[in-house]
Amino acid sequence: MAEIKRVAVLGAGTMGAGIAQIAATAGMDVRLRDVADGPIQKGLETIRSSLDRIVAKAAKAGKATMTDAARTEVLGRIRTTTSLDEAVADADLVVEAIPERMDWKKECLASVEAAAPAHAVLATNTSSLSITDIASAAKDPSRVVGMHFFNPVPVMELLEVVRGLRTSDAAVAAARATGERMGKTVIVVRDSPGFATSRLGVCLAAEAIRMLESGVASAEDIDRAMELGYRHPMGPLRLTDLVGLDVRLAILDHLHREVGEQFRPPPLLRQLVRAGKLGKKTGEGFYRWEK
């Protein structure tokens, strides 16, 4: 298996920017692509701010884990484009990080396969959609693998590699090796609704929302119960705000259809999404967020 040297990241949103950052930090050349310059510039600003925090934290701790010079080198490895063909033309690995819509992901994958080198591994960052279904849009589905990163990507340790029904051993090995090079702890799971992490995570989040609906406790106290009682680094409601209420709702809707009634979304979650209260990215969800 050849080493991954060039990575194309499709989508410069929260997840795409984070994936681009850790790939560049690991020494890979990155092409970050989005459909317009506005999202690209916003993604680059997210990366710059994240690197600034890492530099400041390292300096405060008296460590040389990230210096100003290293920050400049990382940013220098990231090139941007609005052209899909340009982004994937010489990629060894393509990571799609576009919104969680099956039709969009299939369309994206078919376009990528036509433009990327024959050896490139094609990965999707979906958190719950079927890898096998997404891969059905490819002429060679053995190249397609799930690489489910967690938000915020530069901080969260886990990478969930998902093997579709026709994913090759080589594609899984490449995804695992790349994740480990990025500093992640990698688990490999088979393609099933919600995989391992989203299925468990949304169960906890949905029950916390139902508890809030029925007045069991405040959002703050429900979160504090899990943080202090079970040593969770972040409570389920605050985490839902960080992930995005719309993202959580999409996962629950998908699991409700695929698995069963226990994943029916709480009415409060759907009401907040309809009101545009999507969490941190809109300034309000279960909490109010300062910009």
Q: Which of 137, 126, 136, 135 is nearest to 96 (CA)?
A: 126
pTM above 0.75, yes or no: yes
Residue bearing the bigger pLDDT, 10 or 100:
10
pLDDT at 237 over 90: yes
Q: Do 12 and 42 contact (CB within 8 A), yes or no?
A: yes
pLDDT at 109 over 70: yes
Whole-number pLDDT of residue 100: 87
* DSSP annotation string for 244-261: -HHHHHHHHHHHHHHT-G
To which H or E segment does residue 123 belong? strand 121-124
Cα separation, 4 vs 180, whole angstroms = 12
pLDDT at 8 over 80: yes
Q: What is the mean pLDDT of residues 199-211?
A: 95
Whole-number pLDDT of residue 62: 83
Cα separation, 174 vs 2, whole angstroms = 8
Q: Do 59 and 85 contact (CB within 8 A), yes or no?
A: no
Whole-number pLDDT of residue 55: 94
Phi-psi region of 260 (alpha: psi -120 to 50; beta: other; left: phi over 0): left
Q: How far is CA 77 from CA 13, 70, 272, in A?
A: 18, 11, 39
Average pLDDT over all residues of the chain: 95
Whole-number pLDDT of residue 1: 56
The topology (CATH level 3) of 197-281 is N-(1-d-carboxylethyl)-l-norvaline Dehydrogenase; domain 2 (1.10.1040)
Model confidence over 263-286: pLDDT tens digits?
A: 999 999 999 999 999 999 999 999
User: In this structure, what token pair is assigned to residue 20?
Assistant: 């681009």
Whole-number pLDDT of residue 291: 63
Instruction: Tell me where in the chain the CATH 1.10.1040.10 domain(s) lie.
Output: 197-281
In CATH, the number for domain 6-190 is 3.40.50.720
User: In this structure, what token pair is assigned to residue 81?
Assistant: 């484009």
Question: What is the three-state SS of 146-162?
Answer: EEECCCCCCCCCEEEEE
User: In this structure, what token pair is assigned to residue 117?
Assistant: 């080198």
